[in-house]
Structure 1
Amino acid sequence: MKTIKVGGVPEHFNLPWHLCIEEKLFEDKDLNVIWKDFPGGTGEMNKALRSGEIDVAVILTEGIVKDVISGNESKIIQTYIGSPLVWGIHVAAGSKYKSVEELKNTKAAISRKGSGSHLMSYVNAQNHEWNTDDLKFEIVKDLDGAVKALKEDKAQYFMWEHFTTKPLVDKRVFRRLADCPTPWPCFVIAARNETLKNEPERIKRMLEVLNKETNRFKDLPKIAEKLAERYDQQLEDIKKWLEITSWSQEQISEEELEKVQDKLLELNLISKKQPTSEFIHNL
């Protein structure tokens, strides 16, 4: 049985993968899918794709697009979440800042360069007509690092997925000032070019199993309760999240890729655009 190493964030979005593994749905198709959590997010996963630590990543769209332009030899094989990601803009609970406008010229905590928290800081700055050249960052690696950095005032704000950070808001570790949705579908599935060359049929089979699961995911009995329990969430929050979240079984469109590249270019995060064929592999 061939092993496929898949990486993703330890968040509620990825429960369909875990259910496929736990219920041996991949094994039924002669696939040994091994999951690895990446609490550091997109930047950490890009590094793992480049090194061959993982074959496949469930990764933020803008993060993989930027890294492919920078030399990551991977391709997008499918959209995973077709809806936008809602990024909460957080400060420490006791922070003096009461609005996003007041955060101008302060320091953002980011997991690492090239991560979603890094790239979305630029999107947020542009939304508020700040000079993006003035942005300052504190690299914190993950959510725990962000908690520490904000508490010690090494950084003043942190952008992370709204519902993942909601328990910290409820516990008054963070205070959320506002939300900043991505202007495109948020998560895609990317695979190393080497893996796509050597194992196309197995990767295709893996997607078929996953897509069957995501297609029925919202209709599974007590799925909201299961998500709330596994990810330490309030049931009402999970129900809200399920309402605004949609899983995709389709390849990302060229139009969406153009939109991501246009935004990255506008923010000076890439120096030039690439043909969409550089990013997509259709199985």
Structure 2
Amino acid sequence: MKKIQIGGVPEHFNLPWYLTLRDKSYTKEGINLRWKDYPGGTGQMCKALRDKEIDMAVILTEGMVRDIVNGNECKIVQVFVKTPLIWGIHVANNSDYTSVDDLKGTQAAISRYGSGSHLMAYVNAENNGWDPENDLDFAVIKNLDGAVEGLPNGNGDYFMWEKFMTKPYVDNETFRLLGECPTPWPCFVIAVRNDVLEEDPESIQKIVEIINITTEDFKDIPGIDTMIANRYGQQLEDVQKWLSLTEWSQEQLSDKELESIQNQLLKLDLIKSKLQKESLLHNF
């Protein structure tokens, strides 16, 4: 049986993977797919791919594109979630900040350098007309738990994370939500190490086919909103709102989307040059 290691964040977007693993959908095809949670997010997974700790990852689009351009020997095989990720801009409830404008020149708490929280701080800065050189500073807090502990104690001034995952901490008044910053591109992709794609493309293609069958009908599964609410500690109405805004994908990134992502990363000085799509995408 082929053994494949996959990584992803322990968040509601990835529930389709849990369902297919629970149902032994991969085992039935002779694939021993093992899931590993990466609460530290995209930066942590990029390192795991480079270190060959995992074979594939469900990962933020901009972070994966940037890391491939910067030498990570992987390719994107498909978009996983095609709608934007809605990043909430949060401060500690005990802070004096009352608007996103107040955050200019303060310290963004990020999970790690190269992570989505790091890259999106640049997008947010550009959206607000800030100077990235002088108006951005960072404090590394590793993950959401690190922000919950650190922000009220002054370790970072604001924290950008997926809005619905942080909603319980807004509800319990750990955080206050000052604004939102949607990604200007599809939010999650499936990426695979090049050596794995070369050695066993059939297994990767089969894994993608199986997850696509589940995501096509995911929102129609009876009681899926209640399952998500219970599993991830969310309010049912928040889950229903999130489901209404979220669309999974069974397609590859388009040339236009890839061009847009690389142009934005280049503009923000997060990459030094662009790659041809053949170096970034793998099509079965």
Instruction: Say yes or no: TM over 0.5.
Output: yes
AA in 1 matched with 2:112: R
| Uncovered stretches (5+) of structure 2, i.e. residues with no partner | none
What does residue 82 of structure 1 align with?
82
Q: How far 1:169 moved relative to its partner?
A: 0.6
Partner deviation per Cα, 1:87-113 (whole Å, 9 max, x = no partner): 000000111000000000100000000
AA in 2 matched with 1:190: A
AA in 2 matched with 1:20: T
Partner deviation per Cα, 1:40-92 (whole Å, 9 max, x = no partner): 00000000000110000000000000000111000000000000000000000
AA in 2 matched with 1:241: W
Q: Distance in 2 between matches of 1:79 and 1:252?
A: 6
Q: Secondary structure at the match of 1:91?
A: strand
Partner deviation per Cα, 1:100-143 (whole Å, 9 max, x = no partner): 00000100000000000000000000001000112100011111
What does residue 25 of structure 1 align with?
25
What does residue 49 of structure 1 align with?
49
Q: Secondary structure at the match of 1:233?
A: coil
Q: Distance in 1 between matches of 2:262 and 2:206?
A: 30
Q: Distance in 1 between matches of 2:146 and 2:106?
A: 18
Q: How does 1:110-125 map to 2 (within 5 A)?
A: 110-125=110-125
Matched-pair identity in %: 56
TM-score w.r.t. length of structure 2: 0.99
Q: How does 1:100-249 map to 2 (within 5 A)?
A: 100-134=100-134, 135-249=136-250
Q: Secondary structure at the match of 1:178?
A: strand
Q: How far 1:160 moved relative to its partner?
A: 0.2
What does residue 70 of structure 2 align with?
70
What does residue 279 of structure 1 align with?
280
AA in 2 matched with 1:90: H
Partner deviation per Cα, 1:222-250 (whole Å, 9 max, x = no partner): 00001101010000000000000000001
Q: Would you say 1:36 and 2:36 are equivalent positions?
A: yes
Q: How far 1:148 moved relative to its partner?
A: 2.1
Partner deviation per Cα, 1:166-209 (whole Å, 9 max, x = no partner): 01111111111011000000000000001000110000011111
Q: Secondary structure at the match of 2:10?
A: coil
Q: Distance in 2 between matches of 1:30 and 1:11?
A: 27
Q: Distance in 1 between matches of 2:155 and 2:42?
A: 22
What does residue 60 of structure 1 align with?
60
What does residue 3 of structure 2 align with?
3
Q: Secondary structure at the match of 1:227?
A: helix
Q: How far 1:27 moved relative to its partner?
A: 1.1
Q: How far 1:154 moved relative to its partner?
A: 2.1
Q: Secondary structure at the match of 1:54?
A: coil
Q: Distance in 2 between matches of 1:208 and 1:65?
A: 23
AA in 1 matched with 2:264: K
Q: How far 1:149 moved relative to its partner?
A: 2.0
143-152 or 169-178, which deviates more: 143-152
Q: How far 1:147 moved relative to its partner?
A: 1.7
RMSD: 0.6
Q: Secondary structure at the match of 1:164?
A: helix
Q: Distance in 2 between matches of 1:148 and 1:109?
A: 11
AA in 2 matched with 1:279: L
What does residue 257 of structure 2 align with?
256
TM-score w.r.t. length of structure 1: 0.99
AA in 2 matched with 1:39: P
| Runs of at least 4 residues off by over 2 Å | none
Q: Secondary structure at the match of 1:76?
A: strand
Q: How far 1:277 moved relative to its partner?
A: 1.2
Partner deviation per Cα, 1:245-269 (whole Å, 9 max, x = no partner): 0000011111101000000011111
Q: Secondary structure at the match of 1:268?
A: coil
